[in-house]
Amino acid sequence: MLNELTAHEIHDLIVAKKISVFEVTEAILERIEAVGEKVNAYLSVMGEEALREAKKIDAAIAGGREVAPLTGIPIAIKDNMCLRGAATTCSSKILDNFRPPYDATVVDKLRQERAVFIGKTNMDEFAMGSSTENSRSGITHNPWDLSTVPGGSSGGSAAAVAAGETIMALGSDTGGSIRQPASFCGVVGMKPTYGLVSRYGLVAFASSLDQIGPLTKDVTDAAYLMNALCGHDRKDSTSVNREVPDYPQALVNDVKGLKIGIPREYFGEGIDREVRETVERTIRLLSKLGAKIKETSLPHTEYAVATYYLIATAEASSNLARYDGVQYGYRVGKQESLSGNSTIDMYEQTRAEGFGDEVKRRIMLGTYGLSAGYYEAYYLRAQKVRTLIKQDFDRAFEEFDCLLTPTAPTAAFKIGEKMDDPLQMYLSDIFTISVNLAGIPALAIPGGFTGGGLPIGLQLIAKPFAEETLFRIAYTYEQNTDYHKRKCNL
């Protein structure tokens, strides 16, 4: 089955002229046809365009065009990234029918590589959530167990990769939104260093935390996708201007002498026994392979969730202010049910109807935290704690090449389990949030399974721009295990 292959396997077959891009695309679309309804990973599938593009690529290859690593590879895009002319809704009613007249920089880069866009994936509204249940277009189901959530907010992308409904996908990660669903769905997900991948065309949730990254079936695919995504972009002032390494070169089966720290704060209350055992098993394996592993401490970890929810919501309250019904998207206007006549009436009713509960909750929280009299106590204080959290990591990386933690405290939870308890939901990101606050890279990889057959994820964290270290360790781990090869039964 072509849809079960990785991107690099497909690439080799295309180069060897054993398969065509059209066949691969068709296989993906057939798979979507077969399981799409059960999983509900996609908000929109661009079948016709994808097949048309596949034919063009096949013709180009036949004409002697070079096959880049991602040429002809089907890819799914999270619905908060702009793809010219395609609906980009962030799973929100307020962006009903919004079709951007421009491509996100990452989409543009993938176009240049001639990847094939399969569709836009489901997500928590405006990337706010950890289960993909906050979507106006319905819940996405975890392909490993349809009664559980795929994680979030990039749940659609992670589920699509796990279910074989795409070969690879893009997600965005503000507090764990790539890594936590990767963990729940048993796939690889990377949150790159802040500034490494352009945010231009990514609908902002929290600008100082958001990063786009890959969701793939294995570490090798993640390295190739990172090669395509990274690079300076003049359209994003926070994008860094430095040379991008060739990530696949870091895929070396060797961790001898690498120092790996285990932060003790990540193994406290609330962590599932099977998750803890998975990390312990991993420590033993990596030690056997020659890594030097030692316990360490990130003392400000306990403040991360509070800090994150002050900063992320403050930025969100401002970023989401533009959805007011004036220019685009959903509007409660005169022709609709507008009561009252003023612009304020229009704003209020448009936003009241257009946003879901979680988004409203965060806008209110963020607005409050920035208000006169509270700014110093909340937002500014949070920024100071953010610095302390970052310094924790700086200190740790003086000694270690990498930190190893679980990605999430538990495996995928049941649909509906945490919807009435926002705080419990927020705590499912407890191991991923600090990384965004510090702006550093982290990679989530499959590390095992629960007794019930649900994937458990591992997280590797490195210092800024040390993605290669993450790839090397993850690749070595992958070469010595086969968790990433297991397929879900759908």
Partner 1 sequence: MQYETVIGLEVHAGLSTNSKIFCGCSTKFGASPNSQTCPVCLGLPGVLPVLNEAAVEDAIKVALALNCQVSPYSKFDRKNYYYPDLPKNYQISQNYLPVAFKGYLDVPLEKGTKRVGIDNIHLEEDAGKNIHGGGADAGESLVDLNRAGIPLIEIVTQPDMRSLEEVEKFMISLRDILLYLGVCDCCMEEGSLRFEANISLRLEGESRLGNRVEMKNLNSFKMVSKALQHEMRRQGEVLKEGGHIKAETRLWDEEKEVTSTMRSKEEAHDYRYFPEPDLSPLIIKDNWIDRVRKAMPELPRERKLRFSREYKIPEYDAQVLIADKYLADFYEDTVKLFPEAKMVSNWVMGELLRGLKERNINIEECLLPATHFANMLNMIKKGAISGRIAKDVFAEMLDTGKEAEEIVKEKGWSQMSDEDEVSRIADEIIEKNPQSVRDFQGGKEKALGFFIGQVMKVTRGKANPQLVNKLLKEKLGKLK
CB of 284 to partner 1, least distance (A): 42
> Which positions lie near partner 1, rule CB under 8 A?
80-82, 88, 90, 95, 98, 100-102, 104, 199-204, 206-208, 234-238, 314-315, 317-318, 321-324, 326-328, 334, 341, 343-344, 347, 367, 370-372, 375, 379
Nearer to partner 1, 317 or 405 (CB): 317
Nearer to partner 1 among residue 64 and residue 373 (C-beta):
373
The residue assigned the tokens 């070169």 is 249
- Give the number of residues written for the chain: 490
In the complex, least distance from residue 73 CB atom to partner 1, rounded to whole angstroms: 24
Q: Read off the tokens for 9.
A: 């396997």
Tokens (6 digits) for 250: 């870091």
Closer to partner 1 by CB, 216 or 317: give it.
Answer: 317
Strand order in the sheet with 442-449: 42-45, 116-121, 74-78, 168-173, 211-216, 188-191, 442-449, 455-461, 402-406, 259-263, 292-296
Rounded to 5 degrees, φ, ψ at 17 are 60, 30
Tokens of 11: 């690439």
Under 8 Å between Cβ of 63 and 55: no
Look-up: residue for tokens 């409050």?
Answer: 368
Question: Is 236 or 417 the residue whose CB approaches partner 1 more closely?
Answer: 236
Residue 319 to residue 322: CA distance in whole angstroms: 7
Phi and psi, residue 295, nearest 5°: -75, 150
Tokens of 455: 């994937």
**Hey, which residues are catalytic here?**
78, 153, 177
Is the separation of the CB atoms in 229 and 106 below 8 Å? yes
Query: What one-character-per-residue DSSP string does 175-189 give?
Result: SSTTHHHHHHHT-EE
**Nearest approach, Cβ of residue 82 and partner 1 (Å):** 5
In whole angstroms, the minimum distance from the beta carbon of 160 to partner 1 comes to 21
Least distance from C-beta 433 to partner 1, angstroms? Answer: 17
CB closer to partner 1, 22 vs 200? 200
